[in-house]
Structure 1
Amino acid sequence: MSLLKKLFSKKEKEQAITSYQDFWDWFLLHEKTFHKVVASGDSNRLSKEFFDVIGPKLDQIKKGVFYLSGMLNDTTADLILTPDGNLKNFYLVEELVAASPKLPNWKFQAFKPNFGFNDSGIEMYNYKFSIENMYFYAENDQEYPDEISITIVHNDLSEENKSEIINGCYIFLDNYLGELKFATLIDVVHFKRKEEATQELVSLDKLDSFLTWREKEFVEKYEGLRRDTENDNYGSFETTLKNGSPFMAIMNTDLLNWDAKASHPWILRLKIPYDGAENNGFPNKDVYQLLNDFEDELMLSLKDEQGYLNIGRETGDNLREVYFACKDYKKPCKVTDQIIENYKGKLEVDYEMYKDKYWKYFNNYIQ
């Protein structure tokens, strides 16, 4: 019997988690044990007997999924899966939770929720962060009218404690608004002392409704707007970098002069390093073809008529960078992850997803 137990334990230990279903099937085998750990209220047990156990399993799907857990009531354990603000993993936690089983004693959530706080707030660095000592007002930039830009005012902000107060404000807002809303709705955040404020201060408890209203306006303005790039003109740009390396860019110049950029506010930026030591920082013929194949495969899944616009590419100094402007951030990240997997061992690809309604990075290419 002990031999069989060892064999089955080894088999379970080596079982690969390659899908959402694999993870939840594995979770179901241990959920009663996990529930007891969470219900114990012991933070050390929670860390060692729950988080340290599920973490490596989640990493097998993709690294960068974090977790929070506690009891919602006497019988229901709560497991929150969070990308911790990393847009590249937002689709992952949503899909993972959507695939979760229905269990009577568990609640599974994607993203850190709105914790409310009421008047209590949080304390960090010996400072309090709450709706009682924090305010905001909206910034209106005529050059960038669609940007949701706000200024946060904290009663205790000074030059001496600027770093601590700003960090505390970010953490408070993340929890006050909820991770999803905080990460996706606000474009620009400024911080000022009370005496520096240039507008009337608004109570922070109005921020949620303000953001909802601005986002509704934005969606109504651009919803369904698409652009056909088939007949667009492209420009070639060449220069020499500070280190002496030649640099070349190919950009869709018609697209960069489009007056509805904000309809595609999410920028997908791919970074693909290569060895160009023997070619003055540029890829050789074989690598060049591989880079183009990768980009072509992306474009087959991220089509302009669906809301994904290939802005252009930059090449030089042992690096190829490719840029897409996107109507949303979830599908491009999922597609990119899948294609990166296809090129594993051939290309080392990294990427970032960020919000820039006016594509400001590309201003130097506008003629």
Structure 2
Amino acid sequence: MKKINTFWNWFQDNNQTIKNLINETPKNQKHISFWINKNLSYYCKEIDFMIVFPKNGNTRSELIITANGNPEYFNQVIDLVDNAPQLKNWKFTAFIQPTERVDKIIEGFDEPYIFQEITLKASELKFLTLDYDEETQKLDIIIFFKHFNIHCNNKTLNQAIYIILQDLLGEKSLYQNINLIHLAQMPDNAEELVYLHDLQSFIDTFI
């Protein structure tokens, strides 16, 4: 508990500087981010942070504490956020949450994810389940998309799929419910496949 309080005391003393991070020069942004990470690591070296700055008239910035998907550190994330101070201009969130853009994805109006030479739209991805492990209560799934054969040897591809899945399911659900992920070329007849944006609904029904 002492380490938790130490972090939040430091954060409260510096929260205005952190909130103004987006308006700083790249050099100062790097400096401020270094000290956030440094003080967070005093509490736990295996967890990380993200900051979402306000838009559309919202005045609160959001500090997201993440375990980078490692379930061994989920409790550290929860304990830290549960003991966060009440600050008028800040929201504190445990774990990366599912995207709020699901409606746009379902309608096909989602922005594409661009990873180096790979461009993917979540609305165009489909999946099937391969196996369900009753012991771990996790699914093995196969994700289908166009042009897989072109990118199949690209190391960035697995990372790209992981980021999209984390966006759709959220950090915690992804690691609690999904075991192995296989990738494949979208078949010509894909009517039997399920859209990836329906994966969480499938999990809620199946598990």
Q: Do both proteins adopt the same fold according to a TM-score greater than 0.5, normalized to the shorter chain?
A: yes
Task: Confirm whether residue 59 of structure 1 aligns to residue 51 of structure 2.
Answer: no
Letter in 1 for 2:15: E
Counterpart of 1:48? 31
- Tell whether the 8 Å contact from 2:60 to 2:88 is kept in structure 1 after alignment: yes
Distance 2:133 2:34 in 1: 50
Distance 1:143 1:34 in 2: 45
Distance 1:185 1:70 in 2: 26
Taking a change above 3 Å as real, the CA distance of residues 146 and 57 of structure 1, as seen in their structure-2 partners, is: closer
- 2:13 pairs, out of 22, 29, 32, with 29
- 1:114 pairs, out of 93, 98, 114, with 98
TM-score w.r.t. the length of structure 2 is 0.82
Letter in 2 for 1:168: A
Query: How many residues matched?
Result: 197
Distance 2:137 2:8 in 1: 41
Q: Which whole-Å deviations, capped at 9, do the CAs of 1:10-37 have from their partners, x for residues lacking one?
A: xxxxxxx942112111211111222222
Counterpart of 2:178? 186
SS of match in other structure, 2:114: strand
Taking a change above 3 Å as real, the CA distance of residues 48 and 78 of structure 1, as seen in their structure-2 partners, is: same
Letter in 2 for 1:58: L
Taking a change above 3 Å as real, the CA distance of residues 70 and 213 of structure 1, as seen in their structure-2 partners, is: same
Displacement of 1:196: 9.4
Unaligned stretches of 5+ in structure 2? none
Taking a change above 3 Å as real, the CA distance of residues 189 and 196 of structure 1, as seen in their structure-2 partners, is: farther
Displacement of 1:135: 0.6
Unaligned stretches of 5+ in structure 1? 1-16, 216-367
- Tell whether the 8 Å contact from 1:157 to 1:165 is kept in structure 2 after alignment: no
TM-score w.r.t. the length of structure 1 is 0.48
Counterpart of 2:140? 149
Distance 1:180 1:69 in 2: 18
Taking a change above 3 Å as real, the CA distance of residues 143 and 87 of structure 1, as seen in their structure-2 partners, is: closer
Identify which of structures 1 and 2 has the higher relative contact order when contacts are C-alpha pairs closer than 8 Å and 6+ apart.
Answer: 2
Distance 2:189 2:70 in 1: 31
CA-atom RMSD, angstroms?
2.9
SS of match in other structure, 1:113: coil
Counterpart of 2:4? 20
- Tell whether the 8 Å contact from 2:98 to 2:170 is kept in structure 1 after alignment: yes
Structural mapping, 1:257-272, within 5 Å: none
- Tell whether the 8 Å contact from 2:124 to 2:195 is kept in structure 1 after alignment: no
SS of match in other structure, 2:64: strand
Q: Give the share of equivalent positions with the same residue, in percent.
A: 23
Counterpart of 2:81? 97
Task: Confirm whether residue 212 of structure 1 aligns to residue 194 of structure 2.
Answer: no
Displacement of 1:183: 1.3
Distance 1:116 1:126 in 2: 26
Distance 1:167 1:104 in 2: 36
Taking a change above 3 Å as real, the CA distance of residues 177 and 44 of structure 1, as seen in their structure-2 partners, is: farther
Distance 2:191 2:127 in 1: 9
Letter in 2 for 1:184: Q
Letter in 1 for 2:34: D
Counterpart of 1:350? none
SS of match in other structure, 2:20: helix
Letter in 2 for 1:46: Q
Distance 2:172 2:194 in 1: 23
SS of match in other structure, 2:73: helix
Structural mapping, 1:315-326, within 5 Å: none
Taking a change above 3 Å as real, the CA distance of residues 144 and 23 of structure 1, as seen in their structure-2 partners, is: closer
Counterpart of 1:85? 69
- Tell whether the 8 Å contact from 1:134 to 1:152 is kept in structure 2 after alignment: yes
Distance 2:92 2:134 in 1: 43
Taking a change above 3 Å as real, the CA distance of residues 52 and 90 of structure 1, as seen in their structure-2 partners, is: same
Structural mapping, 1:297-316, within 5 Å: none
SS of match in other structure, 2:93: strand
Distance 2:78 2:121 in 1: 29
